[in-house]
Amino acid sequence: MNAEENEATPTDYGEFSRLEFLAHAYAIEREAEERYIELADQMETHNNPAVAEIFRKLARVEGLHALQILDQAGDRELPHIPPWEYRWRGTESPEAIDAADIHYLMTPHHALGLALKAEERALRFFSAVAASQKDAEVRKLAEEFAEDEREHVRLVKEWLVKIPEPAEDWAEDPDPSASQE
């Protein structure tokens, strides 16, 4: 399972310059935003508005974060990094949700469970970077980002306790013909 492999990503990402770090952070937030929007659209297509709404909220949080990063870069342009040259392994950023984990009948509980894993991966990435940087400014930035992700994790957990666990037969479609996409 891909998600499981992602849990075991190495924690040594090397030294970042300030702009390099911001470019990585920007890619993480943008990808998370896009993925959450995609998931929201998908859930709407499958007439699952409760889950769609959760993903929309998360997309907004990540999108705002991405804009803040551009602010932090000021008038400097973020370096353009091709996907395969990001410091994480593979082309998916740590906060991405694996498409293989998506089920069209998934409940709000499942959706939040996936979001929680994604936010925790982002938290681990930023914490690992914060712990390994020699440059004090980059270290401080990474700590701030880790703090933001910690907040996202808290938020998702808070929603998760309010949302009931699904029944055992949640994946059984009462009307399969309605769900061909």
By CB under 5 A, tell whether 110 contacts Zn ion. no
Q: Which stretch binds Zn ion (CB under 5 A): 41-49, 77-85, 114-122, 167-175?
A: 114-122
Q: Which stretch binds Zn ion (CB under 5 A): 15-23, 68-76, 80-88, 113-121?
A: 113-121
The amino acid present at 111, given as its one-letter code, is A
Indicate the residue among 93 and 107 with the shorter CB distance to Zn ion. Answer: 93
Grouping H, G, I as helix, E, B as strand and the rest as coil, residue 176 is helix
By CB under 5 A, tell whether 24 contacts Zn ion. no
Distance between CA 4 and CA 161 in Å, rounded?
Answer: 23
Question: CB 58 → Zn ion: shortest distance, Å?
Answer: 8
Helix residue spans in the chain (DSSP H) = 2-7, 18-45, 49-73, 108-132, 136-162
Distance between CA 9 and CA 52 in Å, rounded?
Answer: 29
Indicate the residue among 46 and 59 with the shorter CB distance to Zn ion. Answer: 59
Distance between CA 75 and CA 56 in Å, rounded?
Answer: 30
Q: Between residue 122 and residue 151, which ones bind Zn ion under the rule CB under 5 A?
A: 149
Q: Which stretch binds Zn ion (CB under 5 A): 12-20, 102-110, 119-127, 128-136?
A: 119-127
| 8 Å CB contact between 9 and 129 | no
| 8 Å CB contact between 56 and 116 | no
Indicate the residue among 31 and 149 with the shorter CB distance to Zn ion. Answer: 149
Residue of 27, 39, 152, 156 that binds Zn ion (CB under 5 A): 152
By CB under 5 A, tell whether 117 contacts Zn ion. no
Q: Which residues bind Zn ion (CB under 5 A)?
A: 119, 149, 152
